[in-house]
Structure 1
Amino acid sequence: MPREMREAVVELPNGLSTHYYEWPGSGPKLVFLHPSAGYGRMWEWTVDALGDRFHVFAADQRGHGFSGRPEGDYSAEEYADDVALFMDAVGIERAVIVGHSLGGRVAQVFAGRYPERIEGMVLVASPHLSNFHATREAARAVLANAADTLGHPEEFASVDEALAFMKARWPWSPESDGSLRHRIAYNFEHRDGGRVAPRYDNIRVAQGLAHLTANLRPYAARAECPVMILLAKQGSLTRPQAEELAGYWRDARIVEIDGTYALQMDNPQALAGAIADFAATVGAG
């Protein structure tokens, strides 16, 4: 059953206008961070599956959704500072941070820079190998992806045209499961004549993607909280790779979930169960 959801906007001290979703609950606080080209509401199926055991927040990060698109370098460090200011603004002292892809990079930096504010970190279908082993080939793939994102259309003539574009680039999100329709409904602006436009800024997203080659090992060394790597069984990250990456943290565990990449839409029930179990083991409160 869908949970009560609130929407609001807060103005952060750094000038960022941040739009966010909130699902009130009686239990510990969770902060969800979406991937590149994502949006806060994409977590709602996972939140519904969690029930009212948690008080959940999910913001549209800078350059995404209804939030602002200020000037800046769009590094994981800048995003992490946004998270700290957002938590201040909505009255969160400590939380379990759940991050997917971009959100996972932000969570990793946040855990290293603000260890006193994070009770546990959940990395959904991440971390990325390129943030720990910045080989030449990895850099090539990262920069090619960023360059492709620069060419994303800023408007589509119709919903069908937008769906066709997304199917070609996000094959792990088949239309049949409703995830692409969800993106169209909540992450696109609907204009006259049936035209639709993505709510993410493709230039800012490309800037963020370029940071997939940034070295995050120093932040892992500074993190003090427990870490859970949620490995998508049909994803690109292998179990041996995940085990190697887990070694960069003091206390990291790996949990495998059926799915390909966007587990919050691919398998929200299993994702919610893993998050709830993890929060219980870390004593989130």
Structure 2
Amino acid sequence: MNARVETGVPESAMRFDIDGTELAVARSGKGPAVVCLHAIAHGGRDFEVFAKLVGDRFEVICIDWPGQGRSGADRQSASAARYAELLAHALQALGIERPILLGNSVGGAAALILAARGDANIRAVVACDPGGLIEIDDTARKAIALMVKFFGAGERGAGWFGLAFRAYYRFLVLPKRAAKVQRRRIVAAGYENARVLREAWESFAAPEADIRALAATIDVPVWFAWAKGDRIVSLKQSRPAIDAMKNARVTQFAGGHAPFLEQPRAFAKAFVKFVNSLPA
């Protein structure tokens, strides 16, 4: 069983050895580079419709994170910090200059971490419902512990996990019709991705997962595109961190966690508007 490859970039995608991990990368379109970074247990195919909508004016580069989609396993556990490290190496390997980073969830957090470093020559960041902008207090730790337990059950192969994971995605994470096909692929790979989900959620409770101070140092423009119905990452709780940033704006879209996937046309239109507003 290898359902996870169906969530990722095409089979024809390039492979790069990045810090001992084989990453699958797909490139399409022509124009300024947009590097797309998916949520945990998703894949580069999340951006399939987005790439078709904007491919006439942007080059869209999609990366499958380690152990997800068509990428190989990593020697380190999943975390936003690890993904930011891999992303920095990947941009060098790909020879991409002045990219716009488009990241969702853990991908959005990785994009913000790399932008804060200031050494990757990033033009702008589009962060969709990113983690890391909320205080990790006792309430957050308890919620994270429940999710770790949930995905740990999937990792052990619990019989009830499949139906529970399906409901989790159908009603909480990607409830909108436009995400239906990719949602089915993600759900089908639930057991395969349970380990990386458990690892990622464990990392969310670590002190370094709080990137609020890092985010405040980012100099490049940041557009937060947030799903209004997100019950996993709260915009309200993230607002103080966003307001503390130098050059950030927020747009809300109907959906659960991934605006570009759940409202693709509205997102693409707003994305182009954002890019057109950037300094030359």
After TM superposition, the score normalised by the length of structure 2 is 0.83
How far apart are the structure 1 equivalents of 2:237 and 2:128?
A: 15
| Gap change, CA 1:226 and 1:136, over 3 Å in 2 | same
Of 93, 96, 99, the match for 1:95: 99
Quick check: 1:182 aligned with 2:193?
no
1:216 aligned residue (211, 215, 232): 211
Deviation for aligned residue 1:197: 4.6
Q: Where does 1:131-210 land on structure 2 (aligned, <5 Å)?
A: 131-152=133-154, 164-170=163-169, 171-172=171-172, 173-174=174-175, 177=177, 179-185=179-185, 197-198=189-190, 201-210=193-202
User: Cα deviations across residues 173-225 of structure 1 (Å, max 9, x unaligned)?
Assistant: 34x8263433445x58xxxxxxx655853222211122223221232133211
2:245 aligned with 1:246:
no
* Structure 2 match to 1:193: none
1:235 and 1:75, CA in 2 relative to 1: closer, same or farther beyond 3 A? closer
User: Larger deviation: 165-174 or 215-224?
Assistant: 165-174
Query: Which residue does 1:16 correspond to in 2?
Result: 21
CA RMSD for the aligned pairs? 2.8
Cα distance between partner residues in 1 of 2:59 and 2:111: 18
Distance 1:65 1:155, change over 3 A: farther
AA partner of residue 9 (structure 1): M
Secondary structure at 2:81 match in 1: helix
Structure 1 position 96, deviation (Å): 0.7
Please say which of residues 72-81 and 113-122 is displaced more in the overlay. Answer: 113-122
The equivalent position to 1:106 in structure 2, one of 106, 110, 122, is 110
Q: Which moved more, 1:56-65 or 1:196-205?
A: 196-205
Distance in 2 (CA, whole Å) between partners of 1:41 and 1:261 is 16
SS of residue paired to 2:216: helix
Q: Is the 8 A contact 2:29 2:55 kept in 1?
A: no
Name the residue aligned to 2:83: 79
Q: Which sections of structure 1, spanning at least 5 residues, go unmatched?
A: 189-195
Identity percentage of aligned residues: 25
The answer on whether the counterparts of 1:220 and 1:249 sit within 8 Å (CA) in structure 2 is yes
Change (3 A) 1:115 1:230: farther
Are the equivalent residues in 1 in contact too, given 2:23–2:65 (CA < 8 A)?
A: yes
> For 1:41-75, what per-residue CA distance to the aligned partner results, in whole angstroms no more than 9, with x for missing partners?
11111222224111011111112111011221322
Q: Distance in 2 between matches of 1:42 and 1:68?
A: 18
CA contact (8 A) 1:97 1:120 kept: yes
- Structure 2 residue ranges without an equivalent (≥5): 1-9
Kept in 1: contact 2:51–2:60 (CA 8 A)? yes
Q: TM-score, normalised by structure 1?
A: 0.81
Contact 2:126 2:222 in 1 (8 A): yes
Within the candidate set 32, 42, 46, 1:42 is matched to 46
Question: Is 1:229 aligned to 2:234, yes or no?
Answer: no
Alpha-carbon distance in 1 for matches of 2:257, 2:189: 24
